[in-house]
């Protein structure tokens, strides 16, 4: 039945004629103030969730006889609340109770008695037990109680201000969170007097619409709490004063050596505590780095340095061949000088020596700085610079692992033909060589007149230049030697120089090798060949629009004879019945 305005008016008249049921308003206030405290409007208000809790705690919510469903309770609440509002006051609550009583088949007085008997909301305890915020405790909060004045207690103001400024705040105004922290830290809150009871006292004492209390209001809170706990006001205030200020319960950070010990502070932080920044020493052990012009370049040392740099394909800097830290460590490893044994040096000392001589901001060293690093490491190993240089020069070049576990050394026998200038006859033009050069360049897309390193290696592999004796590394070294510094590609003239130098290293004539490349032809496509697909490869099977493209018309589809199908279906059904 629709709840018309005439019906609402009759309900309101009914409520006005009925006297206030004893204990009903106290129960209403207990539910409201325990939930949210007094409203800013000055009236105690109840929202829909609290209204439903009233019926739930009274045992009136459910699907049994004498109970209301959640939907019915929500609908009745919506009927009584003012339009545009979300809460109801006590007068609206009485109207809602009257409507609910009518739906439940009870009298208004019977439903009021059941609601008033609960006295307040029920809360679940920690062990499953329940307790009720009843009207036994509520008069101390909701009703005016005549208490002796809260007098000044020595030290109480200091504690009040200490909790206010804890974490930053106004020392003369206390918000609810600092108030609750004070009650917890000073022992006001215990098993019998919990945070909810403290909140109710705070809501009672603070002015409506405010969120903080002054020191005078705080003393009144302490006075009310002492009354509810059955204690003397001065005794409780003395307990708060003896507890002192707020306790910091945050996580304590672990000790950090370079932060806590100021004797280890350096730079601007060290100067801030009166310590001068320590003088930076040249090397890891504090020894002075010898100038490079005072260190001689022994025979074979520079060739070994160049072999490791180009063998690693580290590139060429603007100042010459340079070496990175990884290649520097490999040099000592391949020379048998890295380790923990006698006459060896560990990885840490090698890295420290490299970092000591390299320029600030750079990651590589040139030969002059390499000699300085060798000098530093010779002191760590307890030998002379000349002895260590001789051991490094004996290595000749980097050691690489072969395909079957064998090793080979990029020795100076090969290196002298790459690093040093070799006087060779100028390469002649071979018919067809330019076409092969351009074919490999445009394979996969590219400039026909410029060959990058990957196309060059592909040409050497497919044309038989690379074999069991002449591998990819040696071909790479020739490419690095011939290409211009800083460039990544070579033109046709440089390509002929590369073929000429490779022929010299392989001890064969230039024309013989060039003719072998021409006879091999262009690049070979080694991509995966797709399997045949019947309906894609056989154009006789194409249909529709694709069939029309190859001058094939789509076959005409014959419509089935409906009469024959029906007749056949009837014959089948007749056979099943027999």
Give the three-state DSSP class for 316. Answer: strand
**Distance (Å, rounded) from C-alpha 347 to C-alpha 159?**
62
Band of the pLDDT at 455, cuts 50, 70, 90?
Answer: very high
Band of the pLDDT at 202, cuts 50, 70, 90?
Answer: very high
**Positions of CATH 1.10.238.10 in the chain:** 5-133, 144-243, 292-415, 438-520
- Check whether 358 has a pLDDT greater than 70: yes
Nearest to 110 by CA among 212, 32, 35, 18: 18
Band of the pLDDT at 294, cuts 50, 70, 90?
Answer: confident
Superfamily for domain range 438-520: EF-hand (1.10.238.10)
Q: Identify the pLDDT of residue 135.
A: 40
Question: pLDDT by residue (tens digit) across 342-356?
Answer: 888 888 889 988 988
Q: Identify the pLDDT of residue 345.
A: 87
- Check whether 160 has a pLDDT greater than 90: yes
Q: Residues 533, 538, 539, 540: is their CA dihedral positive or negative? A: negative
Give the three-state DSSP class for 341. Answer: coil
Nearest to 371 by CA among 387, 389, 393: 389
Nearest to 111 by CA among 24, 223, 229, 172: 24
Nearest to 74 by CA among 49, 101, 102: 49
Q: Identify the pLDDT of residue 16.
A: 62
Cα 560 to Cα 295, 543, 568: the distances in Å are: 102, 21, 12
**Distance (Å, rounded) from C-alpha 188 to C-alpha 200?**
14
Percentage of residues in the chain with pLDDT exceeding 90? 25
Band of the pLDDT at 272, cuts 50, 70, 90?
Answer: confident
Nearest to 309 by CA among 479, 471, 477, 478: 477
Band of the pLDDT at 555, cuts 50, 70, 90?
Answer: low
Beta carbons of 282 and 288 less than 8 angstroms apart: yes
Q: Identify the pLDDT of residue 298.
A: 85
- Pairing mode, strands 399-401 and 130-132: unpaired
Q: Which of the residue ranges 4-13, 22-31, 568-577 has the most confident prediction, judged by mean pLDDT?
A: 22-31
Q: Does domain 292-415 have CATH number 3.10.129.10?
A: no
Extract the tokens encoding 131: 């307790």
Residues in CB range of 227: below 8 A, 6 or more apart: 140, 145, 147, 233
- Check whether 116 has a pLDDT greater than 70: yes
Q: Identify the pLDDT of residue 419.
A: 42
Residues in CB range of 506: below 8 A, 6 or more apart: 469, 470, 513
Beta carbons of 186 and 240 less than 8 angstroms apart: yes
Q: Identify the pLDDT of residue 246.
A: 87
- Pairing mode, strands 407-409 and 399-401: antiparallel
Q: Does domain 144-243 have CATH number 2.60.34.10?
A: no
Extract the tokens encoding 24: 């009903």
- Pairing mode, strands 489-490 and 451-452: antiparallel
- Check whether 71 has a pLDDT greater than 80: yes
Extract the tokens encoding 25: 């308003």
Question: pLDDT by residue (tens digit) across 476-509?
Answer: 999 998 888 888 899 999 999 999 999 988 888 8
Rounded to 5 degrees, what angle do the CA atoms 129, 130, 131 make?
Answer: 135
Q: Identify the pLDDT of residue 565.
A: 64
Output b/e per residue, 143-168; b: 16+ Cβ within 10 A.
eeeeeeebeebeebbebbbebbebee
Extract the tokens encoding 248: 């910091």
CATH fold of 5-133 reads Recoverin; domain 1 (1.10.238)
């Amino acid at each position: 039945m629709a709840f018309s305005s005439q019906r609402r008016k009759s309900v309101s008249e009914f409520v006005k004629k009925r006297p206030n049921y004893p204990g009903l308003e106290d129960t209403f206030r207990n539910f409201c103030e325990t939930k949210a405290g007094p409203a800013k409007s000055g009236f105690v208000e109840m929202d829909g969730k609290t209204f439903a809790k009233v019926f739930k705690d009274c045992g009136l919510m459910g699907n049994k006889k004498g109970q209301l469903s959640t939907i019915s309770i929500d609908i009745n609440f919506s009927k009584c609340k003012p339009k545009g509002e979300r809460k109801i006051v006590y007068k609206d609550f009485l109207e809602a109770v009257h409507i609910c009583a009518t739906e439940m088949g009870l009298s208004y007085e019977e439903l009021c008695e059941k609601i008033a008997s609960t006295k307040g909301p029920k809360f679940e305890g920690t062990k499953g037990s329940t307790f009720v915020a009843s009207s036994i405790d509520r008069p101390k909060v909701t009703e005016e109680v005549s208490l002796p004045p809260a007098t000044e207690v020595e030290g109480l103001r200091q504690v009040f201000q200490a909790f206010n400024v804890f974490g930053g705040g106004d020392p003369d105004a206390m918000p609810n969170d600092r108030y609750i922290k004070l009650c917890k830290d000073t022992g006001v809150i215990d098993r019998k007097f919990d945070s909810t009871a403290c909140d109710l006292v705070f809501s009672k004492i603070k002015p409506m619409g405010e969120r903080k209390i002054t020191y005078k209001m705080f003393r009144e809170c302490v006075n009310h709490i002492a009354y509810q706990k059955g204690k003397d006001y001065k005794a409780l205030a003395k307990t708060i004063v003896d507890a002192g200020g707020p306790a910091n319960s945050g996580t304590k950070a672990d000790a950090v050596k370079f932060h806590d010990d100021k004797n280890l502070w350096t730079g601007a932080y060290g100067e801030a505590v009166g310590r001068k920044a320590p003088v930076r020493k040249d090397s890891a052990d504090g020894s002075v780095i010898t100038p490079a012009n005072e260190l001689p370049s022994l025979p074979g040392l520079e060739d070994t340095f160049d072999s490791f740099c180009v063998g690693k394909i580290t590139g060429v800097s603007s100042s010459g061949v340079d070496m990175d830290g990884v290649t520097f460590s490999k040099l000592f490893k391949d020379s048998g000088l890295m380790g923990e044994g006698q006459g060896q040096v560990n990885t840490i000392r090698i890295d420290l020596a490299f970092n000591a001589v390299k320029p600030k901001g750079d990651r590589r060293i040139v030969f002059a700085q390499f000699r300085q690093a060798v000098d530093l490491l010779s002191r760590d190993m307890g030998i002379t610079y000349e002895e260590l240089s001789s051991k490094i020069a004996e290595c000749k070049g980097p050691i690489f692992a072969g395909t079957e576990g064998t090793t080979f050394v990029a020795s100076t026998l090969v290196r002298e033909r790459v690093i040093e200038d070799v006087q060779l006859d100028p390469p002649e033009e071979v018919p067809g060589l330019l076409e092969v050069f351009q074919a490999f360049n445009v394979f996969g897309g590219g400039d026909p007149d410029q060959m990058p390193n990957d196309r060059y290696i592909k040409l050497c592999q497919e044309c038989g230049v690379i074999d069991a004796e002449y591998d990819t590394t040696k071909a790479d070294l020739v490419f690095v030697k011939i290409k211009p510094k800083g460039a990544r590609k070579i033109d046709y003239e440089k390509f002929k120089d590369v073929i000429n130098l490779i022929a010299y290293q392989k001890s064969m004539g230039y024309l013989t090798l060039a003719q072998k490349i021409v006879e091999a032809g262009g690049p070979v496509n080694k991509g995966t060949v797709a399997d045949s697909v019947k309906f894609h490869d056989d154009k006789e099977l194409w249909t529709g629009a694709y069939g029309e493209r190859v001058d094939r018309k789509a076959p005409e589809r014959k419509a089935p004879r409906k009469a024959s199908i029906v007749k056949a279906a009837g014959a089948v059904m007749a056979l099943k019945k027999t």
